[in-house]
Amino acid sequence: MKRYTKRFCFLVAIALTAAMMFAFQAFAAPAKTVKPAPAGKAAGQAEWEKVVNEARKEGRVVIYGAGIGETANHLKKAFHDRYGITLDFVVGRGNDMAQKLLSERRAGIYAVDIGNGGVTTWVSVLKPANVTVPLDTLIMLDDVKDPMKWRAGRIPFLDREKRVVTLGAIRQRYIFFNTTMMKPNEVTTFPDLLDPKWQSRIVINDPSMTGPGNNWFSYMLITLYGREKGAEYMKKLALNKPVLVRDERLQVEWVAKGRYPMIIGGKQTVLQNFVDKGAPLAWLTMKEPPPVSSGSLNLHALQNAPHPNAQKVFVNWILGKEAGDIISQTSGYPSERADASHANFEPGLVPGREDSLEGEDYELQKAGMPKIAREIFKDLLQ
């Protein structure tokens, strides 16, 4: 028994000695000063991580809008790889998708987080319905807010309320052709299209509804010729009996397969898909000054989003460099991000800092163009 008592006392003595040494060292050593992280940065980072975690629980972002071709698949993969969140694209013509959205909302169905498409649809349909939110209220990342990261020195909002933003834009070319059927010097200016040799040989994306054909029609009547002279030009073109088609993929396929030699108002993203697969298609360079166009690469966010955190994460990501590089490499449009790669574009097609996009005021004028086009081309639309 005494042996165990001595061992116990020995262990207690060792413990007391160690405790006294620790206390002495703690008292003698100067206290370390811990510098707090910058409050704004730490708070912002913590808030962003919270939003991302909640977004992962929501699991998806639902997007209604005009098709952007294979670009959508590349964005889906990259966003899922980055955040584990699914992008669900529901695609149709811009105006059709806008009407679908509004019809669902009237029925109390709130299924959509994000919309994309041409600015005309937003100005003429969605803005009056007041279903979108200011995008700057969703932007959290300093990288997106930094004006130096953008071509124009600012986030490229297209309206005064900052509800629509452009992801990519190009100095627009409206006509492309089958390189096995004609030479580029056969058409170098828009009056060349009035030559009788092109009668019934030109495909036009239907200008009587929103889309690339109407974009060209509007440019001719608003920017290039003015409404009166532009309408006279279109009446002469109608006498040449162009083929008006609404199916954006079918019309490109017809030209790619040699059924027609050229198309006016072909969709850029669809053309890019065919070119990537080796189709003999190329753009015509016209003498007239080109406008800067964003096509369907315009983004808005919906009120009462079913996945609000995922919506916010997507808005910040799609406006970042990673998504900007994908847009530049796959859509046929240079990203509006100044730090995104533009290596695969001819220098003359990439807008400069001074080039402005067609904004809300232009789109308000453009809203009446489908009606004028229907009247001019009524015989060809029947």
Dump pLDDT digits (tens) for 33-85.
Answer: 333 333 334 448 899 999 999 999 999 999 999 888 889 999 999 999 999 99
Q: What confidence tier does 368 reach under pLDDT thresholds 50, 70, 90?
A: confident
Greater model confidence, 31 or 125? 125
Residue 331 pLDDT greater than 50, yes or no: yes
Average pLDDT over residues 245-250: 92
Q: What's the distance, CA 252 to chain centroid?
A: 22
Q: Which residue has the tokens 């002279």?
A: 229
Q: How far apart are CA 186 and CA 303, in angstroms?
A: 50
pLDDT in tens, 181-207: 999 999 999 999 999 999 999 999 999
Of all residues in the chain, what percent carry a pLDDT higher than 70? Answer: 88
User: What gap in Å lies between CA 95 and CA 118, rounded to an integer?
Assistant: 9
Q: Tell whether the model's pLDDT for residue 7 goes beyond 70.
A: no
Mean pLDDT in the chain? 87
Q: Minimal CA–CA distance to 193: which of 224, 251, 233?
A: 233
Q: Residue 28's pLDDT is what?
A: 36
Cα radius of gyration (the chain): 29
CB 158 within 8 A of CB 166: yes
Is the predicted pLDDT of residue 94 greater than 80, yes or no?
A: yes
Spatial CA neighbour of 89 closest among 97, 81, 310: 97
Q: Kindly state the helix (H) or strand (E) to which residue 64 belongs, with its residue range.
A: strand 60-65
Amino acid at position 210, single letter: T
pLDDT above 80 (res 147):
yes
Rounded CA separation 152/338 (Å)? 8
Give the tokens for residue 52. 């991302």
**Cα–Cα distance between 4 and 238 in angstroms, integer?**
112
Most confident of the following: 13-27, 230-244, 284-298? 230-244
Res 89 pLDDT > 50: yes
- Model-level pTM greater than 0.75? no
| Residue-range domains of the chain with CATH | 45-169+295-351 (3.40.190.10), 173-290+367-381 (3.40.190.10)
pLDDT at position 68, please?
Answer: 86
Q: For the chain, what percent of residues have pLDDT higher than 90? A: 66
Whether the per-residue pLDDT at 382 is higher than 90: the answer is no
**pLDDT tens readout for residues 97-107:** 999 999 999 99
Between strands 281-283 and 175-178, the pairing is: antiparallel
